[in-house]
């Protein structure tokens, strides 16, 4: 068995807690429920259109676990926030899931390593200032976003060019896997990125990259920043 290499203390602590509760429950189900519960907790603070359906999903998922495990979910959520806050330029959830073989069992997903994602972003986004002279914001779309490494890398590249990605870049991701897409959603949300994640098949029903009106749709997850006054005004200009 290979030794797990954690990038920081929060991942190590996360692993200790996650391992302790995985002795009582299926590991894959624990992971998918943790991601779903965390995403709903974020979404339901701002998205009133999808609130009730997601709240119903939340209660159905959380009630499968005893009180002690429910409290552990809260601890895991806090550790994730701490980890991505200390070092935003990483695919925190994707790296952890890969190390513990928690990627999608059916689709055999492989998440793009962050170093490759950063290289791709640097090559394709080498002069954002020029693009922003022509329009108020830029959309970055990843049709197979996975856990979000390419979109996170796009934010880091913009930041290195002194571009405020929270105000000038709309992040759009799509993935057929609900769990992978929500991993991306969580990480973009805590980077304060404006954007949304579409859960669906890119080949049969690709996202157009447009800025959709906010309405009840269980397959679209809007980040909190998307609801800000600034982005509400920017969307009206697009």
pLDDT tens digits, residue range 172-199?
Answer: 999 999 999 999 999 999 999 999 999 9
How does pLDDT run across 104-153, given as a tens digit for each residue? 554 567 788 999 999 999 999 988 999 899 899 999 999 999 999 999 99
How far is the C-alpha of 92 from the C-alpha of 198, rounded, in Å? 20
Model pLDDT, residue 203: 82
Catalogue all structural domains in the chain, each as residue range(s) with its CATH number.
9-99 (no CATH), 114-237 (3.40.50)
Let me know the angle formed at the C-alpha of 94 by 31 and 110, rounded to the nearest 5 degrees.
Answer: 100
C-beta neighbour count of 235 within 10 angstroms: 18
How does pLDDT run across 12-30, given as a tens digit for each residue? 999 999 999 998 999 999 9
How does pLDDT run across 192-215, given as a tens digit for each residue? 999 999 999 888 887 765 555 666
Phi then psi for 57, rounded to 5 degrees?
-60, -40
Q: Confidence band (pLDDT; 50, 70, 90) for 236? A: confident
The residues pairing with 194 across neighbouring beta strands, listed in sequence order, are 170
Model pLDDT, residue 122: 95
Helix (H) or strand (E) holding 56: helix 51-62
Look at the block and give the residue holding tokens 């519960």: 37
Q: Are strands 220-222 and 194-199 parallel, antiparallel or unpaired?
A: antiparallel
Phi then psi for 41, rounded to 5 degrees?
-60, -35
Q: Confidence band (pLDDT; 50, 70, 90) for 93? A: very high
């Amino acid at each position: 068995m290979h030794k797990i290499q954690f990038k920081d203390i929060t991942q190590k602590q996360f692993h200790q807690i996650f391992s302790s509760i995985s002795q009582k429950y299926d590991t894959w189900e624990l992971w998918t429920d943790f991601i779903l519960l965390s995403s709903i907790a974020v979404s339901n603070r701002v998205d009133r259109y999808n609130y009730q359906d997601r709240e119903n999903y939340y209660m159905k998922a959380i009630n499968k676990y005893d009180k002690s495990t429910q409290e552990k979910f809260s601890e895991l959520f806090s550790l994730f926030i701490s980890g991505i806050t200390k070092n935003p330029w990483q695919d925190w959830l994707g790296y952890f899931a890969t190390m513990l073989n928690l990627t999608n069992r059916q689709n055999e997903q492989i998440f793009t390593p962050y170093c490759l994602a950063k290289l791709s972003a640097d090559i394709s986004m080498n002069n954002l200032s020029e693009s922003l002279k022509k329009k108020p914001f830029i959309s970055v779309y990843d049709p197979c976003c996975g856990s979000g490494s390419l979109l996170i890398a796009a934010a880091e590249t913009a930041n290195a060019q002194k571009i405020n990605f929270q105000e000038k870049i709309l992040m759009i991701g799509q993935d057929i896997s609900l769990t992978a897409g929500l991993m991306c959603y969580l990480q973009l949300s805590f980077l304060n990125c404006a954007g949304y994640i579409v859960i669906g098949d890119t080949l049969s029903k690709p996202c157009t990259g447009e800025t959709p009106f906010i309405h009840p749709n269980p397959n679209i997850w809007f980040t909190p920043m998307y609801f800000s006054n600034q982005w509400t005004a920017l969307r009206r200009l697009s």
